[in-house]
């Protein structure tokens, strides 16, 4: 049976033979929902490359202790992929974040596109970002990732232009583009940035601004996908042509 993965914010002092205590919501879910028991093998990760494996030594109401058997530090995967995701309607944002995380995306940037129907303002902006981050964390554990994706704050179009300007490669999904994404080979060093527009599409002004930043418009195929699935299909295409899936 594959060992379950749990998130611990700090594994700096974790080493073979030492105990690591897991508390809070992470422990509560493991103990109360998943029925974690003493003797069970688990994996703990800090989401920043460090993972430890070991057996559960103690179980409490909202805590458990793991006796570390092995410690591993994984290098960051290259090239790094960033997806700029325009805000979708309803809960489709969390769906996109979940699938992008499972694929291995390194950074997810929520974007307030001019044609986005959903709006994040004030307290809602931080609550929504936190929800995306929590979704990414849970998906990363499910995918057994040792590096969790970063979910940034809400970006403006100007922010996206700056991000594209600093990237090695940038692309914008657009159903009217003539260049196929399938013909693209990701730069082996990265970073690579992919922009996914909202339900209403990327505006001509945004397309122009992104093109001036060095990010051409590309298409997936003749079908027009939802914003929550377009980025997933595009990332699978890019990863399939990258060293990460070679």
Indicate if the pLDDT at residue 1 is higher than 80: no
Same domain, 37 and 89: no
CA distances from 54 to 1, 15, 28 (A): 14, 10, 19
Alpha carbons within 13 A on the beta-carbon side of 146: 15
- pTM of the model as a whole: 0.94
For residue 217, the enclosing domain spans 81-245
State the Cα–Cα distance between residues 63 and 7, nearest whole angstrom. 13
> How confident is the model over 102-134, as pLDDT tens digits?
999 999 999 999 999 889 998 889 999 999 999
State the Cα–Cα distance between residues 174 and 18, nearest whole angstrom. 52
> How confident is the model over 214-239, as pLDDT tens digits?
999 999 988 889 999 999 999 999 99
Q: What is the pLDDT of residue 191?
A: 96
135 class by beta-carbon count within 10 Å (0-12 exposed, 13-18 middle, 19+ buried):
buried
Q: What is the pLDDT of residue 218?
A: 96
> How confident is the model over 197-215, as pLDDT tens digits?
999 899 999 999 999 999 9
Same domain, 123 and 171: yes
Same domain, 171 and 207: yes
Indicate if the pLDDT at residue 52 is higher than 70: yes
The answer to whether the CB of 120 falls within 8 A of the CB of 162 is no
Same domain, 12 and 129: no
Sheet holding 150-151, edge to edge: 150-151, 107-111, 81-86, 192-196, 169-173, 217-218
CATH at 124: 3.40.1280.10
Same domain, 240 and 183: yes
| Total of domains in the chain | 2
Same domain, 170 and 240: yes
> How confident is the model over 10-49, as pLDDT tens digits?
999 999 999 999 999 999 999 999 999 999 999 999 999 9
> How confident is the model over 62-109, as pLDDT tens digits?
999 999 999 999 999 999 999 999 999 888 999 999 999 999 999 999
Q: What is the pLDDT of residue 196?
A: 98
Q: What is the pLDDT of residue 222?
A: 86
């Amino acid at each position: 049976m594959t060992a379950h993965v749990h998130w611990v914010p700090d594994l700096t002092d974790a080493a073979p033979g030492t105990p690591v205590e897991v508390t809070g919501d992470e422990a509560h879910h493991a103990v109360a929902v998943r029925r974690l028991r003493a003797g069970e093998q688990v994996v703990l990760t800090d989401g920043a490359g460090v993972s430890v494996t070991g057996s559960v030594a103690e179980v409490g109401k909202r805590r458990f202790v793991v006796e570390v058997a092995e410690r591993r530090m994984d290098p960051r995967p290259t090239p790094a992929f960033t997806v700029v995701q325009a805000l979708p309607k309803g809960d489709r944002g969390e769906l996109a974040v979940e699938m992008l995380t499972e694929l291995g995306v390194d950074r997810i940037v929520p974007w307030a596109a001019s044609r986005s129907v959903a709006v994040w303002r004030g307290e809602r902006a931080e609550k929504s970002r936190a929800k995306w981050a929590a979704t990414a964390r849970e998906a990363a554990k499910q995918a057994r990732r040792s590096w969790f994706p970063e979910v940034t704050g809400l970006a403006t179009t100007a922010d996206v232009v700056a991000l594209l300007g600093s990237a090695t490669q940038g692309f914008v999904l657009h159903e009217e583009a003539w260049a196929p994404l399938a013909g693209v080979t990701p730069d082996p060093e990265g970073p690579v940035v992919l922009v996914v527009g909202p339900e209403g599409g990327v505006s001509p002004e945004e397309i122009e601004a992104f093109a001036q930043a060095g990010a051409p418009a590309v298409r997936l195929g003749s079908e027009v996908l939802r914003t929550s699935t377009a980025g997933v299909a595009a990332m699978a295409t890019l990863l399939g042509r990258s060293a990460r899936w070679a």
